[in-house]
């Protein structure tokens, strides 16, 4: 039995991060759709199985370059969100020691020590801010 499964997945994509995400999203939609009333119920119970089917189609696909590109897009998107979340967490932890300003020129977050009064803050892009800390 183990050899048959190995031969089945030989040369196929398998369950990557995008397939797992589609699987759990489909399972969650289907389960949630059972408890909700009306049009939302029919919408979730329709799209839930579609996501499940897509997850398995991706897992059994032999077009590896296309599946890897799709998965790389998801991982890039997730990586950006994780970095943003980590930066927010760090800003929250150090909020008593530092004050954060966003540069109007380039959008960079600038960190300055608190309690220094009115100061000039120079950004890398050349923009100068005058702010009170």
Tell which phi-psi region holds residue 82, choosing left (phi > 0), alpha (psi between -120 and 50) or beta.
Answer: alpha
What's the predicted TM-score (pTM) here?
0.62
Contact status, residue 126 vs residue 105, Cβ threshold 8 Å? yes
Q: How far is CA 48 from CA 16, 26, 54, 70, 117, in A?
A: 19, 4, 10, 20, 56
pLDDT given at position 16: 87
pLDDT at 100 over 90: yes
pLDDT given at position 36: 84
Contact status, residue 125 vs residue 103, Cβ threshold 8 Å? yes
Mean pLDDT confidence for 98-123? 90
pLDDT given at position 84: 92
Q: How far is CA 124 from CA 45, 100, 106, in A?
A: 51, 15, 9
Task: Encode pLDDT of 7-50 as tens digits.
Answer: 777 777 778 888 999 999 999 999 988 888 888 888 888 899 99
């Amino acid at each position: 039995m183990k050899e048959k499964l190995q031969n089945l997945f030989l040369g196929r994509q398998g369950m990557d991060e995008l397939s797992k995400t589609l699987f759990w999203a489909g399972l969650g939609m289907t389960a949630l759709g059972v408890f909700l009333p009306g049009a939302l119920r029919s919408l979730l119970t329709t799209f839930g199985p579609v996501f499940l089917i897509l997850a398995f189609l991706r897992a059994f696909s032999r077009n590896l370059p296309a599946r890897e590109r799709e998965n790389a897009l998801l991982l890039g998107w997730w990586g950006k969100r994780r970095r943003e979340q980590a930066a927010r967490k760090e800003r929250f932890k150090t909020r008593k020691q530092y004050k954060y300003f966003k540069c109007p020129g380039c959008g960079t977050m600038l960190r300055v020590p608190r309690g220094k009064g009115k100061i000039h803050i120079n950004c890398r892009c050349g923009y100068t801010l005058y702010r009170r800390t």
